[in-house]
């Protein structure tokens, strides 16, 4: 495994963007009045999906 592209790959960028969107969605859900736990859990699910996306893209060779 080479560290020359550490964090600068399509898999890494895609996972970070999806996870960031998940954190934003979850945060918005917590700031709503009343708190929307449905929106919060959708954000949590997006963060989990980011990990799945990263693993899938890594297996496709997009993490090199």
Domain ranges of the chain: 16-59
- The whole model's pTM is what? 0.85
CA 28 from centre of chain: 16
Q: How buried is residue 50: exposed, middle or buried, by Cβ count under 10 Å (0-12/13-18/19+)? A: buried
Helix (H, G, I), strand (E, B) or coil at 56: helix
Kindly report, residue by residue over 19-58, the tens digit of the pLDDT. 999 999 999 999 999 999 999 999 999 999 999 999 999 9
Residues in the chain: 64
Q: How buried is residue 11: exposed, middle or buried, by Cβ count under 10 Å (0-12/13-18/19+)? A: buried
């Amino acid at each position: 495994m080479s560290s020359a592209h550490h964090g600068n790959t399509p898999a890494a960028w895609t996972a970070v963007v999806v996870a960031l969107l998940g954190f934003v969605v979850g945060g918005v859900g917590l700031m709503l009045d009343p708190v929307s736990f449905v929106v919060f859990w959708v954000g949590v699910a997006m963060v989990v999906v980011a990990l799945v996306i990263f693993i899938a893209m890594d297996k496709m060779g997009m993490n090199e």
